């Protein structure tokens, strides 16, 4: 679910955080699509798990086998969590640095130096590889069997409600046109994100994404009539303050541009990115709830539509041929485009797996760390000068995100405790 596992496609492309509450909903949707463990085999089945391990331990001639198995399980979980952390950091830090290299630095030397000609082609490349990844997962033989029970239950529920139960459990499941609005807004958000880098620094772009909460709340209120507590608005205000302080105290404008007017274009492009990305995730919410699609089916449908739309645009404008000719002249650019697409696709898999195994809060913490590391590495590698007030603005944003994580954790903990308590009955 890409607002809900995938988040929005803009998020699944760059791994940014699009609101913790929607990530928690993503967790619940994933749980609803996953078959429950057999009675007596899981932790939440009360004493069933203990009995199972205890019986096995007795058969092996020792009660210590149960605790040994638990320690092994905890060790395995820690290793998986570490692998997810390393995978997410490697994928999306690479994605961010390669993106900045492609968009902001010229290829070639002297009079032959030229910039990559088309942001739309970068969007097309990312979606093309992600489409093959999604198709391989959705149409792989184990996909239907692995989620068979859940898929059957979801299809039965949808059929009873008259909301798409007749669709096949594999494939797109929802009508292809249902993916089109989210695909269009996703293309616009990704294009705006690449174009903005021509006018503002990468650290500014990364930090500005923290203010996604504002358009998410606005679009949620308009599209779903949602209401939000005062604390949400306070957090949005603090994040906006932090981004503003950071942006106004950068030491110099983007190299190669005149400053004021160009910077304003960059911020307008960022506003377009945030608004379109928020619409994408909210529309995906509707598709998830109405058609009960999996995160991979959502990924497949949106990427297919995106390939059609961006492909048509590249053909119509001629930017497709121009981009291929550019990469023929500069083979290192072709390598960078492939690496950009590959890191985005692998990052999506780590997003899905991390949220399903460890929950939205752990995922959000990992991606907050990723934002910090991306900013630091970008400043070091691409020599972005920062005044001390900029660091104050960044800390305001990250502290506010930390408060959001803590508050969400406190809300989830009582529900988790009551769920565990009821398992023993």
Question: Does an H or E element contain 157, and which?
Answer: helix 148-161
C-alpha to C-alpha distance for 133 and 126, rounded to whole angstroms: 11
C-alpha to C-alpha distance for 38 and 26, rounded to whole angstroms: 23
C-alpha to C-alpha distance for 60 and 321, rounded to whole angstroms: 67
13 phi, psi to nearest 5 deg: -75, -45
- Rg, C-alpha atoms of the chain: 23
Name the DSSP class of 387: -
Global confidence as pTM: 0.69
Neighbours of 252 (CB within 10 A): 10
From the list 411, 190, 192, the residue with the least C-alpha distance to 303 is 190
Task: List per-residue pLDDT tens for the chain, 425 residues long.
Answer: 333 443 544 555 655 544 444 555 555 544 444 444 444 433 333 444 444 444 344 334 444 555 666 666 888 888 998 999 999 999 999 999 999 999 999 999 988 899 999 999 999 999 998 999 889 888 886 655 544 444 444 444 444 444 444 334 567 889 999 999 999 999 999 999 999 998 888 888 887 776 767 777 777 777 667 777 888 888 878 877 887 787 666 655 454 444 444 578 888 998 899 889 888 888 988 898 899 888 889 999 999 999 999 999 999 999 999 999 999 999 999 999 999 999 998 998 898 888 878 877 678 778 878 877 888 888 888 877 777 787 788 888 888 878 877 777 777 666 555 544 444 43
**pLDDT at residue 249, as a whole number:** 67
DSSP annotation string for 160-171: HHTSSTTS-SSS
């Amino acid at each position: 679910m890409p607002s809900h596992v995938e988040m929005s496609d803009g998020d699944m492309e760059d791994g940014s955080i699009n609101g913790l509450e929607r990530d928690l909903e993503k967790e619940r949707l994933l749980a609803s699509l996953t078959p429950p463990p057999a009675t007596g085999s899981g932790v939440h089945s009360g004493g069933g798990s203990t009995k199972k391990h205890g019986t096995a331990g007795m058969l092996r001639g020792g009660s210590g086998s149960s605790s040994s198995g638990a320690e092994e399980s905890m060790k395995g979980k820690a290793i998986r969590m570490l692998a997810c952390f390393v995978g997410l950091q490697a994928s999306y830090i690479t994605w961010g640095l390669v993106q900045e290299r492609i968009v902001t630095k010229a290829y070639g030397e002297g009079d032959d130096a030229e910039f990559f000609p088309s942001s739309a082609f970068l969007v097309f490349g990312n979606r093309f590889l992600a489409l093959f990844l999604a198709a391989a997962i959705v149409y792989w033989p184990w996909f239907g069997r692995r989620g068979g029970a859940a898929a059957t239950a979801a299809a039965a529920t949808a059929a009873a409600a008259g909301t798409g139960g007749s669709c096949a459990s594999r494939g797109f499941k929802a009508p292809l046109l249902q993916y089109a609005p989210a695909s269009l807004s996703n293309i616009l958000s990704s294009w705006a994100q690449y174009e903005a880098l021509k006018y503002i620094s990468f650290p500014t772009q990364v930090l500005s994404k923290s203010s996604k909460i504002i358009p998410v709340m606005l679009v949620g209120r308009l599209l779903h009539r949602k209401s939000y507590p005062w604390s949400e608005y306070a957090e949005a205000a603090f994040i906006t303050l932090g981004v503003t302080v950071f942006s106004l105290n950068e030491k110099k404008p983007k190299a190669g541009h005149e400053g004021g007017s160009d910077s304003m274009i960059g911020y307008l492009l960022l506003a377009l990115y945030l608004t379109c990305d928020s619409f994408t995730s909210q529309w995906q919410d509707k598709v998830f709830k109405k058609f009960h699609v999996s995160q991979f089916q959502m990924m497949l449908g949106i990427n297919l539509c995106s390939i059609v739309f961006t492909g048509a645009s590249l053909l119509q404008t001629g930017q497709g041929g121009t981009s291929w000719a550019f990469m023929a002249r500069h083979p290192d650019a072709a390598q960078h485009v492939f690496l950009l697409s590959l890191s985005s696709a692998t990052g999506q898999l780590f997003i899905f797996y991390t949220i399903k195994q460890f929950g939205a809060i752990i995922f959000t913490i990992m991606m907050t760390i990723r934002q910090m590391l991306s900013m630091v590495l970008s400043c070091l590698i691409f020599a972005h000068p920062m005044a001390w007030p900029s660091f104050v603005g960044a800390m305001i944003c990250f502290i506010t995100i930390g408060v959001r994580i803590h508050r969400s954790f406190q809300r989830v903990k009582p529900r988790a405790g009551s769920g565990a308590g009821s398992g023993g009955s």
